[in-house]
Amino acid sequence: MANIIDKQIAVARVWARALHVLAAEAGKDDEICAELEELVALAEAVPSMRELFDSPLVPDASKERLIEQILRGTLSDLLVDTLHIMRRKGRLDLVRALARVYREDWLKRKNHVEVRVATAVPLTDELRQELRLTAAERTNRHPILVEKVDPRLLGGIVITIGDHKFNGSVLKEIERFESIVLERATAELLSGKSYFTEGT
């Protein structure tokens, strides 16, 4: 399975480079990155879109029609036209890998780093700013926060900064952040507020 994924990523890099060149020429680099994320989210949420990308049993004519009916006018013509080229080459199965690789390259080109933060309760503006400053200092890149509230953390905090592993000094800072979040979670519980949602 790992070999298949690695092969998909390798092939997707070729498509991502070509798409980036066209997007940069059109001044749509940021737009294409966002649209690819929307496309993957749509594929996860809508069964017909999953079949469009994943099933070899869906006739090519049906795939062409679905792309035009669902995506034309919603996504940029550049991305829709790229999907048609991938369809004709039988490579729509690479859409998720393409989105992943394009975003990774986009982050590097923009000197950004993705900071994924999972907390038991929503971050305060102050803590959010502290995390940005810490990530910027540690990576010399502009941080983009991706936040997730997970009540199962019971007041804890999980931080992932790009592919960097935390050293001891960063862990101490995370422990400090964790204590702040724990205090907030305790206060929220005592006040009767709950961030647990049905199904969690």
What is the pLDDT at residue 200? 38
What is the pLDDT at residue 100? 93
Dmax (CA) for the chain in angstroms is 59
Q: Which of 63, 83, 107 is the last residue of a domain?
A: 107
Q: What is the pLDDT of residues 142-199, one digit of tens each?
A: 999 999 888 777 656 778 887 654 433 344 556 666 666 666 666 666 666 554 444 4
What is the pLDDT at residue 46? 86
Q: Are residues 173 and 158 located together in one domain of the fold?
A: yes
Cα separations in angstroms, 21 against 18, 97, 104, 183: 5, 18, 15, 48
Using 50 as the pLDDT threshold, list the residues of the chain that sit under it: 165-171, 195-200
Q: Are residues 9 and 94 located together in one domain of the fold?
A: yes
Domain membership of residue 53 as a residue range: 2-107
CATH number at residue 99: 1.10.520.20
What is the pLDDT at residue 98? 95
Task: Tell me the two tokens of residue 151.
Answer: 């009540």
